Amino acid sequence: MSTEAQGTESRPRDFIRNIVAEDLANNKHDGRLATRFPPEPNGYLHIGHAKSICLNFGVAEEQGGVCHLRFDDTNPVKEETEFIEAIKADLSWLGFDWGENEYYSSDYFEQLYQWAVQLIKAGKAYVEDLSGEEMRKLRGTLTEPGTNSPSRERSVEENLDLFERMRNGEFADGAKVLRAKIDMAAANMNLRDPAMYRILHAHHHRTGNDWCIYPMYDFAHGQSDSIERITHSICTLEFADHRPLYDWFIEQLGIFAPHQYEFARLNLGYTVMSKRKLQQLVAEQLVSGWDDPRMPTLVGMRRRGYPAQAIRTFCERIGVGKSDSWIDLSVLEECVRDELNETAPRAMCVVKPLKVVITDYPEDQQEMFDAPIHPQQPQMGRRQVPFSREIYIDRDDFMEDPPKKFFRLGPDREVRLRYGFVIKCNEIIRDDSGEVIELRCTHDPATAGGVAAEGRKVKGIIHWVCAKTAVPVEVRQYDRLFQVEQPGGKEGDYREDINADSLQVFTPCYAEAGLADAEPTVAYQFERLGYFCADSRDSKPGALVFNRTVTLRDSWAKAK
């Protein structure tokens, strides 16, 4: 994380923000700032994209520039409208606004075609009819130069004619490509006469069947930036080797030259982020969908209850640098906790219920205890917690033969019910197999509402719910989707590292009555347990489902 060169804002400046600030100070591009976020609409956005989004939109926002949303839809076979809508929804959820600036690379197809013709006329591009395999053979290696293809010597007229016929659909897929005529001996392999256009008789989600030739990403990307007059074209490090090629096209065409800057992509521990892998997890039903709460997608995190602000804070905390590194998943989880600790309403829920009968409390009586919605945020108001003769406590809060330091319930021991009475366990009821199924307790009326009665020393406080009014819920507890930090390692199959215990379902659990109308994706703190939210897909009135958003503490660190 770069914290040198503090900006005037509270945010630490990174090398990109420094460059932008300096360019603006020098009135480069007449003081104009335009960035863009260019997703390929072939999948849902993930937390890695969020890093790029926060950087591109963030810089523009801070410096009074604009950030374009550009769908890089040059590849007709993989793109779907579903993804475009999802990407827009995710961006809005994160809190960014592209306004009028929504663009599609496919809108530039005609212009790109004209530019290809311009390069052919200038003797800078030629039609190749060698197969992909043959081209690879002539390409050379990192240590040996490539060899010129015979097609390189075609006349401009012949190239123009062939390229037009490619457009007109006279040739089959893969029969020909248009190549840039640069240098087959270039040290940078990307400059060894790279392909500019390929033939693909495929339907495109926006241009329909208008085209059967499509520009390669490398021929479309830089020029799209140029058309939109992007001043700072920010991308991840793996494109650094492509920059000379983008610059070459721009220079040959004599058009506006955006400058590309590369930053380190986000790698997050215990997570995979390649869209191919995410797609595979979905297709092979290893998760329930793109929005499975264990997925690193923004839809998954939203469904899990991560607040958008936590993701923005995370992107700020990890900073923007130039060397690839892995970020521990606990950093993201800590951002979620920090945010929810401040904002999440409190409630009680018993995940592993054990019935407790308060034998000295009248059968038909019920009372309300007054409790804060959030102990540190009085402005959030109060809630009423019902109490009656039968309650549930968590099984883990009772031990038959407790050690001295167990400050919860045991035979003849006392414990304080959160916001309620001090109770004492007098009797244990078992089923035929000997399992404890119920406790019989008495209460001390002088301790109502958590008021400490004179001289009492009851250390433990446990959560509980009133059996009469509690709502039954299903609780889904998630753990990391993978059991190793770098799934698949360098060469292995990441799927073999899936954590088989990443989802645990508990039912029935009992939640405080007020949770019956919990809004999906809005997290509550279930006292002593963690943060939980109603599931946006599966939770229904009468059949509530809660997802665990995150634990109260980093239990994984302890377990290791």
Looking at residue 406, its amino acid is F
Report CA-CA distances (Å) from 382 to 298, 371, 375.
Answer: 32, 6, 9
Q: Which of 13, 17, 29, 49 binds ligand ATP (CB under 6 A)?
A: 49
Considering only residues 237 through 296, tell me which ones interact with ligand ATP, judged by CB under 6 A.
265-266, 273-276
The one catalytic residue among 275, 389, 424, 480: 275
Beta-carbon neighbour count of residue 355 at 10 Å? Answer: 16
Would you say 36 or 374 has its CB closer to ligand ATP? 36
Q: Least distance to ligand ATP from the beta carbon of 236, Å?
A: 4
Q: By CB under 6 A, tell whether 327 contacts ligand ATP.
A: no
**Sign of the C-alpha dihedral computed for residues 341, 345, 351 and 356 taken in this order:** positive
**Nearest distance from C-beta of residue 189 to ligand ATP, angstroms:** 19
Q: Is 39 in the site for ligand ATP (CB under 6 A)?
A: yes
Work out whether 224 is an interface residue with ligand ATP (CB under 6 A). no
Is 265 a catalytic site residue?
yes
Q: Which of residues 365-404 bind ligand ATP (CB under 6 A)?
A: none
Total of residues contacting ligand ATP (CB under 6 A):
15
Stretch that binds ligand ATP, among 23-31, 34-42, 298-306, 511-519 (CB under 6 A): 34-42
Please state the closest distance from residue 392 (CB atom) to ligand ATP, in A. 44
Cα–Cα distance for residue pair 226/233, rounded to 1 Å: 10
**Closer residue to ligand ATP, CB minimum distance, 290 or 510:** 290
Minimum Å distance from CB 112 to ligand ATP?
18
Between helix 15-25 and helix 47-62 the angle, nearest 10°, is 20
Residues 6+ apart with CB under 8 A from 327: 266, 267, 268, 269, 318
Instruction: Tell me if 58 contacts ligand ATP by CB under 6 A.
Output: no
Contact flag: residue 227 with ligand ATP (CB under 6 A): no
Our answer to whether residue 40 is catalytic in this structure is: yes
Identify the residue among 13, 17, 51, 181 touching ligand ATP (CB under 6 A): 51
Integer Cα distance of 238 and 20 in angstroms: 21
Residues in the chain: 560
Exactly one of 40, 316, 328, 474 binds ligand ATP (CB under 6 A); that residue is 40
Among 17, 48, 112, 439, binds ligand ATP (CB under 6 A): 48
Q: Residue 322, interface with ligand ATP (CB under 6 A)?
A: no
| Closer Cβ to ligand ATP, 265 or 528, answer by number | 265
Q: Which residue intervals of 95-229 are DSSP H helices?
A: 109-121, 132-138, 156-167, 217-227
Q: Which is nearer to ligand ATP, 335 or 356 (CB)?
A: 335
Q: How far is 550 from 534, CA to CA, in rounded Å?
A: 13
Cβ contact 524:515 at 8 Å: yes
The C-alpha atoms of residue 482 and residue 499 are separated, in whole angstroms, by 5
- Identify which range of 43-51, 130-138, 281-289, 393-401 contacts ligand ATP by CB under 6 A: 43-51
Specify whether the CB–CB gap between 420 and 450 falls below 8 A.
yes
The DSSP secondary-structure symbol of 409 reads: B
Is 181 known to be catalytic? no
> Residue 260 Cβ, how far from ligand ATP at the closest point, in Å?
11
Residue with tokens 């405080």: 512
Cβ distance to ligand ATP smaller for residue 273 or 458: 273
Binding of ligand ATP at residue 317 (CB under 6 A)?
Answer: no
- Interaction residues for ligand ATP, span 134-193 (CB under 6 A): none
**Residue 52: CB minimum distance to ligand ATP, A:** 4
Nearest residue to the partner ligand ATP, using Cβ:
48
Cα dihedral 474, 477, 482, 486 sign: positive
Q: In what order do the strands lie in the sheet with 524-526?
A: 346-347, 524-526, 530-534, 544-551, 471-478, 503-511, 349-350
**Shortest separation between residue 4's beta carbon and ligand ATP, angstroms:** 22
Contacts by 121-124, CB closer than 8 A, 24 or more apart:
121/156, 121/160, 122/252, 123/156, 123/181, 124/180, 124/181, 124/182, 124/252
User: Any contact of residue 54 with ligand ATP (CB under 6 A)?
Assistant: no
- Cα gap 261→235, rounded to integer Å: 6
In the list 235, 423, 467, 503, the residue contacting ligand ATP (rule: CB under 6 A) is 235
CB of 279 to ligand ATP, least distance (A): 9
* E-only strand ranges, 51-190: 66-71, 102-104, 125-128, 177-180
Q: How far is the CB of 275 from ligand ATP (least distance, A)?
A: 4
Distances (CA, A) of 339 to 97, 219, 238, 310, 371: 22, 43, 33, 6, 22
Minimum Å gap between C-beta 421 and ligand ATP is 52
Told to check if 38 binds ligand ATP by CB under 6 A, we report yes
Q: Which of 265, 322, 440, 495 is catalytic?
A: 265
User: Of 37-45, 370-378, 414-422, 497-505, which segment contacts ligand ATP by CB under 6 A?
Assistant: 37-45
* Ramachandran angles phi, psi of 330, nearest 5°: -65, -25
| Residue in 28, 32, 40, 317 annotated catalytic | 40
Active site members: 40, 265, 275
What residue ranges bind ligand ATP (CB under 6 A)?
Answer: 38-40, 48-49, 51-52, 235-236, 265-266, 273-276
